[in-house]
Amino acid sequence: MHVRTLSGLPHLESTVVATGIARFGSPETACGLWIQPHNLPRQTSQTDFQVALIVMLVSLSAGGDTHAMNIPSFCCSWLRHSTLAASFALSFAVGSLAALAHGDEPRPPATRPPNVVLIVADDLGYRELGCFGQEKIRTPRLDALASEGMRLTRHYAGNAVCAPSRCVLMTGKHPGHAIVRDNKSTPPEGQYPIPAAEVTLAELLHDAGYATGAFGKWGLGGPGSPGEPLRQGFDRFFGYNCQAHAHSYYPDYLWDNDRRIRLENDPAVPGHAGLADGADPADPRSYDAFKGCDYAPDRIYEAALAFLRAEKDGPFFLYYPSIIPHVALHIPDDELTPYLELGWNDPPFTRTGGGYTPHFTPRAAYAAMISRLDREVGGILDELDTLGVADNTLVIFTSDNGATHLNDEVDVDFFASVGELRGLKGSLYEGGIRVPAIVRWPGHVAAGSESPFISGFEDWLPTILEAAGCGADIPAEVDGLSLMSQITEDNVPGLPGSQRPFLYREFAGYGGQQCVLAGRWKAIRQQLRKGPAPTELYDLEADRSEAHDVAAEHPNIVKRLEALMTREHTPSSTFPIAGLGDELPAR
């Protein structure tokens, strides 16, 4: 078939078909892409479609095997004999030949959608980056990223802990509408899954022609569930499916798409364990049991870079939900050195009161972990530069919630991890949900800028889709707002509409909580699992630390915000909150 087809064609057409055969293996395969598009690989490019169409039309004009090509018989006569078809094939070939005969040349950046890199730290506090006020931990690459783009100074994670926050990020729905509203394990591995019916950011970008890859910690559906990443729009996944499994940085396996791969940790280092009986907590050798050989973040980082190289012609969506700096305090010894040299007073964490795994120098370990994350971000940015795609890539960096509340092993007071803010991870006070956020998009986002606009995780789905030219595809049920008018260079602060009406949060865990932000005001309720609770009110412009409850002084504002809280909550039988009227499951 190949030789006969090529030998019967003029030089130009045979060159085009040869290009197609090099790409697809045979004219039959190329034609199959057009006749049976449901068989397409997820990462088939627009150029693949062009080559396939050329090969099909030109091959047919030379007497190709229509049965092998799976072309319906009623189409064959028109395709073989129509002057229009032949003319179209030849003119299309002439217009495309220069690019196609020399490989899959990418479109110029100005004519193709932007790539998207979304990096999410795990439990990184609002003040733990230099560009957000950190004074002890070194984060030069993230500080540089902020100087090249915009800092969002009032950005809110989707929730106060991992899984529900990530659900908001992926679906664009706030926690009163999102499916996942707390961490909930589903043994033997994984967390409560996003249902198949949910539409995720990855699915929308995939349908828009993006190659989609996730590298890090998933936490939205265990292996084989409808929520696993390969069933939620990702072409590629590498890392931890399960949050609990990610408590160890030296596990015995990771997931590579839908299969486990072994790591060279024998035995694996547990995420939760104590010193051996009789071990001397003052002897650094007592902590050697918590050091492994095969560091999972290394594997994840390299897989992410490989994805970038493979998809450099774009557009691509790289989702990088890092496990850093979530405890346990696992970091290679050589990365501790810059902080050990500072001579901090750094008493060992021995785990006498529970927690994750002990560490001889916990302050140095935690700082080194964040610096490690900083280097990974820098490496990803460097790779974008090397591949020549940085100028056409929207980069977003943020954190899934505030700094950990496990103060025995992470000294958040020493690092001033949330600064003046009240609360930590697990709380809907500012320190638990207000997180650092940086966005860079050369030519669109002004370098060295910042925005005080109240924004949240639900906003990234519509923002990214609008940036990708897919604003019409934003699902109607999405709660988020596109931030494009806020982050792009033509934004003029103070214009009408520059303040969002409200931002809503609820959290079924840690006693049950609910809050709403509207301008300067924040209403919050605590301990809702026990039943109805009083509403606290804070003026965040005058009281960023939420130290003074002014509910009694502003009853009308409280009434208005309580009405919003009632309206935005939809009942959940899986994550019920009794104080909001949800029916609790029978015991």
Phi/psi of residue 393, nearest 5 degrees: -130, 125
**Hey, do 117-420 and 503-580 end up sharing a CATH topology, with the first three levels equal?**
no
Determine what percent of the chain is predicted with pLDDT higher than 90.
Answer: 78
User: Do 458 and 168 form a contact (C-beta atoms < 8 A)?
Assistant: yes
- Spatial CA neighbour of 191 closest among 242, 149, 143: 242
Q: Does residue 503 contact residue 454 with C-beta atoms inside 8 Å?
A: yes
Across the range 410-415, mean pLDDT stands at 98
Q: What is the residue-averaged pLDDT of the chain?
A: 86
Q: Give the type of residue at 218.
A: W
CATH C-level class of 503-580: alpha beta
Cα distance between residue 488 and residue 485, in whole Å:
6
> What's the confidence (pLDDT) of residue 112?
85
Give, in degrees to the nearest 5, the angle at Cα 192 between 169 and 369: 60
Burial 507-532 (b: 16+ CB within 10 A, else e): bbbbbbbbbbbbeebbbbbbebbeee
Q: Give the whole-angstrom CA distance, residue 178 versus residue 198.
A: 9
454-486 per-position pLDDT tens digit: 999 999 999 999 999 999 999 999 999 999 999
CA dihedral 171, 173, 179, 183 (to 10 degrees): 90
At 431-460, the pLDDT tens digits run 999 999 999 999 999 999 999 999 999 999
Closest by alpha carbon to 515, among 549, 478, 561?
A: 561
SS3 assignment, position 427: coil
pLDDT at 496: 40
pLDDT beyond 70 at 523: yes
Structure tokens given for 14: 């045979």
* Least reliable range by pLDDT among 34-48, 111-125, 312-326, 412-426: 34-48
Instruction: Give 495's contacts (C-beta < 8 A, 6+ positions apart).
Output: none
In this prediction, residues 1-7 reach a mean pLDDT of 32
Orientation of helix 83-100 relative to helix 11-24, angle to 10°: 70
Q: Is the pLDDT of residue 553 over 60?
A: yes
| Domain spans in the chain, listed from the N-terminal domain onward | 2-100, 117-420, 503-580
Instruction: Report the CATH superfamily, name and number, of domain 117-420.
Output: Alkaline Phosphatase, subunit A (3.40.720.10)
Taking 90 as the threshold, does the pLDDT of residue 82 lie above it? no
More confident residue, 24 or 297: 297
User: What is the chain's length?
Assistant: 587
pLDDT tens for each residue of 205-249:
999 999 999 999 999 999 999 999 999 999 999 999 999 999 999
Q: How far apart are CA 223 and CA 211, in angstroms?
A: 21
Contact 155, 435 (CB under 8 A): yes
Strands 236-240 and 211-217: parallel
Find residue 455's DSSP bridge partners. Answer: 155
In this prediction the pTM is 0.82
d(CA 406, CA 247): 14
